[in-house]
Amino acid sequence: MATRQRRGQRAKSEMNVVPYIDVMLVLLVIFMISAPIINQSVEVNLPASSNAQDIEPPSANADLPRPLVVTIDSAGKYFVDRADENSLPVTTNLLRQITQDALRDNTATPVYLRADEQVGYGAVMVVMDVLKSSGAQAVNLVTEQPDNQ
């Protein structure tokens, strides 16, 4: 008679959600790791530099703004990395407007310029001029580590 339940005890009919919470936490970690990798969608060959550093992702501190990343591809087209839109080519006027909008709330927003190594100096200076005239305090040039390091 070991199969009989004790008097007054009933089987629990509630759902165990602990495994679902574990799965959601694993998915959250995977998303957090993969999001910065997917971020840069425009393919460019960056110039090599021994002092190259990665673009600083926004930290857990909510006070720090998301960086503004402008890219010039090998054809000389301009792209702006924003989370709310796909990477589509923009004109210099639209680039100026986007930069002014991004810097309106916080002028300390970090601005990064990624340019293909085949792009001429003049195209880089046009973008630098647009960024500076739009209110960027400093424009960081993005490079990559040389292959031999």
Domain membership flag for residue 2: no
Pairwise CA distance, residues 32 & 118, whole Å: 33
74 found inside a domain:
yes
Answer for the pair 92, 126: CB distance below 8 angstroms, yes or no.
yes
User: What CATH code is carried by the domain that includes residue 66?
Assistant: 3.30.420.270
Residue 84 inside a domain? The answer is yes
pLDDT-derived band at 47 (thresholds 50, 70, 90) equals low
Entry pTM = 0.60
Inside any domain, residue 130: yes
Report if residue 9 sits inside a domain: no
User: Is residue 4 a part of any domain in this protein?
Assistant: no
| pLDDT (tens digit per residue) in 57-106 | 555 455 667 788 888 888 888 988 765 455 678 898 999 998 898 888 78
The answer to the question of residue 34 being in a domain is yes
Q: Is the pLDDT of residue 149 over 60?
A: no
What's the Cα-to-Cα distance from 131 to each of 2, 45, 60, 96, 118, rounded to whole Å?
Answer: 79, 22, 27, 7, 21
DSSP notation for 64-101 = SPPPEEEEE-TT--EEEE-TTS---EE-HHHHHHHHHH
Domain count, the chain: 1
146 band by pLDDT with thresholds 50, 70 and 90: confident
Residue 75: CA count within 13 A, CB half-sphere: 7
Residue 30 domain-assigned (yes or no): yes
Domain hosting 89: range is 14-149
